[in-house]
Amino acid sequence: MTTKPPPSVSEFPAESVERLAYSVVADIATREPNDRNRLGYHVWAWLKERSGTLEQAVKNSGSRTEQPLDAVYEIIAKRLQEKGIKLS
């Protein structure tokens, strides 16, 4: 019996919204990796839809972080502004 190798994973293009969203949360300390993925997803959804505020998106993610969510919001907001994204 043989096993096949897993399929290769295609990464998002460097200029995509998905790459941006997940890169700004990449080094935020969370209890589990899935908490970081969930946070990245909510940032991506906010960037795509622009419904509500970024602060609401961070809080709605329910991610269990090592820092208070207000501090996490400040980190993400600063990184997005550095990349030229307007928050309002």
pLDDT of residue 88: 74
CA–CA dist 71, 15 (Å, integer): 26
In which residue ranges of the chain is pLDDT below 50? Answer: none
**Which pair of structure tokens corresponds to residue 72?**
């996490």
In a 3-state reduction of DSSP, which class is residue 65?
Answer: strand
pTM: 0.86
The domain segmentation of the chain, as residue ranges, is 17-82
Q: What residues contact 61, with CB distance under 8 A and at least 6 apart?
A: 38, 39, 41, 42, 43
* Cβ atoms 58, 43 nearer than 8 A: yes
CA–CA dist 55, 75 (Å, integer): 11
pLDDT of residue 15: 86
